[in-house]
Chains A and B, each alone.
Chain A
Amino acid sequence: MEYENRQNDDIVRMVNIEKWFGRVYALRGVDFHLKRGETVGLLGDNGAGKSTLIKILSGYHVADKGDIYFDGKKVVIRSPRDARRLGIETVYQEQALAPNLSISRNIFMGREPVKGFGIMDKKLMDEESMQALQNLGLRLRSPDLPVVTLSGGERQGVAIARAIHFKAKCVILDEPTVALSVKEVNEVLEFIREIQREGISSIFITHNLYHVYEIAERFVVMARGKKMTDVLKEDVTLDDLSELVIKSALVE
């Protein structure tokens, strides 16, 4: 198969993905690929299907048709556990962290290091959390602070630090800059640059073209469950991109 031949380039390859919700078509045969170390901006209006597409990749939904190749191998992703085992980490807007839990408990959520009998190694958790945050340039007072006391930008930092710490191969950033102040947006964009420096591939979903244009290397525009455009950054200006998104939403 041609996909198998190109396996060295692509960390993720989704082929002819279809998804219905009841009788409503959410995705109609979408092809999507992500190269190693690449950052792709996934754009489109509300209901374009970009959320559904990445939720299939992260195991929230199961596709009705189509294949997923990860790291060159065909995979079946039935749950977030499956996705995480492969190395797909998600940084969702409101769904990534437990607000009342401490930073270190959040970073190690579901993957707590244990000393025996399932007792958590808190010292190790605290040290490694602080280290992971520091690598990201984020200095926080204590690993015991509940996440709810952090700013919006710092929270995204915690989620991104977690992804990097667990050596994710593909990070899905779902609207990471929504509802943040200008200063916090810059912070978060800096965190994403750290992901790029680590050589981790990422998918950046957003409505804000300015944020994604600064960072992504390629853009995929979706509308009504189809992929409309797939362009490299060097072939497109910010204005072109903006026009593409608007036009795709209006065509039919």
Chain B
Amino acid sequence: MNQTRRFYSFRSSSTLVVFVTLVVVFSIFTPNHIFINERNIAALGKLFPDLGIIALGIGVLMICGEFDLSVGSVLPFCSFIFAQQMIADFSPFVSFFVSLLVGAILGLINGIITVKTKMPSFITTLGTLMFWRGILYVWSKMMPMSIRTFVPSGSPFQKLMAGNLNAYIPVQVIWFAIFAVILSILLHFHRFGNWIYSTGDNRDAAHAMGIRTDLVKIICFMIVGVLCGFSACMQSVRLGSFAATQGVGFEFKAISACVIGGTSLRGGIGSMTGIFLGALTIPIIDNGLILMRVPVFAISAFIGLATILFVLLNNYIERKTR
């Protein structure tokens, strides 16, 4: 009894329980147990980090007390810049850094608007979500652009962003793990992490203790922006092209992932372990349901349901353990 209590006192433990349950359920109930088929897992490993990496950043931002809905547009915007740079004859590596830079700038803009206007970031980034998508549609004329010739299969950049470590482990999973480790060190061991938690938990106290809370928030917005830029390049290289519809719906899926990972919507509460598991859980729900022949269009309903049920579960556990 005591041990179960201890286990549940960690916020991410309920996420772990849900995650393991889902894996078991899908493994048993998918036709021919195709869910645990290694080809399915390898395919999943190629796909989920696109969203997963962004969700890691969103988690950090949410702990800091802010949201970023604009990721759904910042991602394709960076992807467009990446493709354009290569078409303008820059090397993939240069284009990659330009894409990260653009991501950082778009994050900076979100941060500055939010901090200076003191508006909820839910509103400011809803605005930039629609704004950047509009600009992107006009600028790109919604035409897909192939980048296959610039990053052909087997080229160094392609291998780095969309290759395979071995037969089972795609390189995207490694990137996801690297970012999770970096952000985990930042949040839990670095002093900046303490500033992020303090800012999200009690902004007045953090301010009174001399922490530059505005700057902390802006940097968190920029972390999300850079991760969007990274994910944009990774996705474009995998797809071999830029498409104006990349990243649609990422904003809410990323927030769902963080909420399922036990991150509080009010800031100050959350852990990288939880966010990591949340970022794995959302794509698993997606994938498992598809394999169980649930119509694609119904999946959104399940993710919505899962998010609400999970918050309820978490609140319940919190009341029980306190």
In the bound complex, residues from chain A placing their C-beta under 8 Å from that of B206 are: 98, 109-110
**Which residues of A from 75 to 109 have beta carbons under 8 Å from B?**
79-81, 84-85, 90, 92, 95-101, 105, 108-109
Let me know if B194 and A112 touch, CB within 8 A. yes
Residue A22 lies at the interface, judged by CB distance under 8 Å to chain B: no
**Which residues of B from 190 to 222 have beta carbons under 8 Å from A?**
190-195, 197-198, 201-202, 204-212
Let me know if B191 and A120 touch, CB within 8 A. yes
Let me know if B268 and A101 touch, CB within 8 A. yes
Residue B54 lies at the interface, judged by CB distance under 8 Å to chain A: no
In the bound complex, residues from chain B placing their C-beta under 8 Å from that of A84 are: 209-210
User: Quick one: given A99-B202, A118-B192, are A109 and B269 in contact (CB under 8 Å)?
Assistant: no
Q: Identify A92's interface contact among B189, B197, B208, CB under 8 A.
A: B208
User: Quick one: given A58-B208, A80-B209, A98-B206, are A110 and B190 in contact (CB under 8 Å)?
Assistant: no
**Which residues of A from 124 to 174 have beta carbons under 8 Å from B?**
149
Let me know if A118 and B191 touch, CB within 8 A. yes
Contact digits for B163-198, partner A, Cβ 8 Å, 1 yes 0 no:
000000000000000000000010001111111011
Residue A182 lies at the interface, judged by CB distance under 8 Å to chain B: no
In the bound complex, residues from chain A placing their C-beta under 8 Å from that of B198 are: 98, 101, 105, 109-110
Let me know if B201 and A95 touch, CB within 8 A. no
Q: What is the CB-to-nearest-CB distance from B62 to chain A, in angstroms, rounded to a whole number?
A: 13
Residue A1 lies at the interface, judged by CB distance under 8 Å to chain B: no
Closest to A122 in B: B189
Let me know if B192 and A95 touch, CB within 8 A. no
Let me know if A97 and B210 touch, CB within 8 A. no
User: Quick one: given A109-B194, A118-B190, A119-B190, are A95 and B208 in contact (CB under 8 Å)?
Assistant: yes
Let me know if A90 and B208 touch, CB within 8 A. yes
Q: Which residues of B are in contact with A by a Cβ distance under 8 Å? A: 185, 189-195, 197-198, 201-202, 204-212, 268-269, 322
- Pick 12 A–B contacts, CB within 8 A, sort by A: A60-B208, A79-B210, A95-B202, A97-B205, A98-B206, A105-B198, A108-B194, A110-B198, A110-B210, A110-B211, A117-B190, A122-B189
Residue A111 lies at the interface, judged by CB distance under 8 Å to chain B: yes
Let me know if B204 and A95 touch, CB within 8 A. yes
Let me know if A105 and B190 touch, CB within 8 A. no
In the bound complex, residues from chain A placing their C-beta under 8 Å from that of B208 are: 58, 60, 80, 90, 92, 95-96
Residue A238 lies at the interface, judged by CB distance under 8 Å to chain B: no
In the bound complex, residues from chain B placing their C-beta under 8 Å from that of A114 are: 191
Q: What is the CB-to-nearest-CB distance from B204 to chain A, in angstroms, rounded to a whole number?
A: 4
Closest to A105 in B: B194
A109 vs B201: C-alpha distance in the bound complex, in angstroms? 12
In the bound complex, residues from chain A placing their C-beta under 8 Å from that of B204 are: 92, 95
Let me know if A110 and B192 touch, CB within 8 A. no
Let me know if B268 and A109 touch, CB within 8 A. no
Closest to B201 in A: A98
A35 vs B208: C-alpha distance in the bound complex, in angstroms? 23
Q: Identify A99's interface contact among B185, B190, B201, B212, CB under 8 A.
A: B201
Q: What is the CB-to-nearest-CB distance from B47 to chain A, in angstroms, rounded to a whole number?
A: 34
In the bound complex, residues from chain A placing their C-beta under 8 Å from that of B201 are: 98-101
Closest to A97 in B: B205
Let me know if A105 and B202 touch, CB within 8 A. no
A46 vs B194: C-alpha distance in the bound complex, in angstroms? 35
Let me know if B210 and A112 touch, CB within 8 A. no
In the bound complex, residues from chain B placing their C-beta under 8 Å from that of A98 are: 197-198, 201-202, 205-206, 268
Let me know if A80 and B197 touch, CB within 8 A. no
In the bound complex, residues from chain B placing their C-beta under 8 Å from that of A95 are: 202, 204-205, 208
User: Quick one: given A84-B210, A110-B211, A119-B189, are A96 and B194 in contact (CB under 8 Å)?
Assistant: no
A149 vs B197: C-alpha distance in the bound complex, in angstroms? 17
Closest to A108 in B: B194
A112 vs B192: C-alpha distance in the bound complex, in angstroms? 9
Other than A110-B195, A119-B191, give 8 A-B pairs with Cβ distance below 8 A. A95-B204, A97-B205, A98-B205, A101-B197, A108-B194, A119-B189, A120-B190, A122-B189
Let me know if B189 and A80 touch, CB within 8 A. no
In the bound complex, residues from chain A placing their C-beta under 8 Å from that of B195 are: 110
Let me know if B210 and A81 touch, CB within 8 A. yes
